Amino acid sequence: MKHFLFFGIYTVMLCTSAISHAHALKETTATITVRSGQIDVLVNTDFSHWLSVLHNNEAWLLGDTELVLQNGQSEQVKRKQLQDLVLTHTKIQANGTLLNCQLNQFPIKLTQLHKEHHSRAYFRLGCVSPQKQLNSVSLTLPKSLGRVYTSLVQPKQQLIGAGQQANFKL
């Protein structure tokens, strides 16, 4: 009976870990947040995979990447090249106007991300549109990131008093 109980617990733990691993998203995701003419783009990607793609000379020759990283380069050089790649090949438009964006967040330790089991990390871009009322937003990211699941968020905010109810129309 004791062995059966341990076997049952082990089986449940094994199934649970397999299920939770199966839900890990492998593709790059981008979340565009629009608020009062300000646009924030948060990109979550597998940096280990992205760095591997960018170290592939054949992918560059075939036009699948914008850049080839060299094996002997320092982490600072690679980081700077990736930041430049993001800024050069990311296009964000609001109401058809191309915006100038800043890279507000980017991982510092690329080598660590490239070697670790959990290699996902974020980078964040910020832009300000001259127009406060936005009718359309478009995003183009570097080709080397591959497929990107993109979502748009437009937060609605209310200030309510203590004990009051917030109501939002969807």
Q: Which pLDDT does position 16 carry in this prediction?
A: 42
| pLDDT tens per residue, range 55-99 | 998 988 888 899 999 888 888 999 999 999 999 999 999 999 999
- The pLDDT of residue 120 is above 80: yes
Structure tokens belonging to residue 102: 């800043």
Separation of alpha carbons 16 and 24, rounded Å:
13
| C-alpha span between 64 and 62 (Å, rounded) | 6
The gap between the terminal CA atoms of the chain, to the nearest Å, is 55
Alpha-carbon gap, residue 70 to 50, rounded angstroms? 14
Backbone angles phi, psi at 101, to 5 degrees: -120, 160
Question: Which of the two residues, 13 and 43, has the higher pLDDT score?
Answer: 43
> pTM (2 decimals)?
0.77
Q: Which residue has the tokens 């940096």?
A: 47
At 24 the pLDDT is 53
Three-state SS for 146-170 is: CCEEEEEECCCCCCCCCCCCCCCCC
* Residue 125, strand partner residues: 41, 103
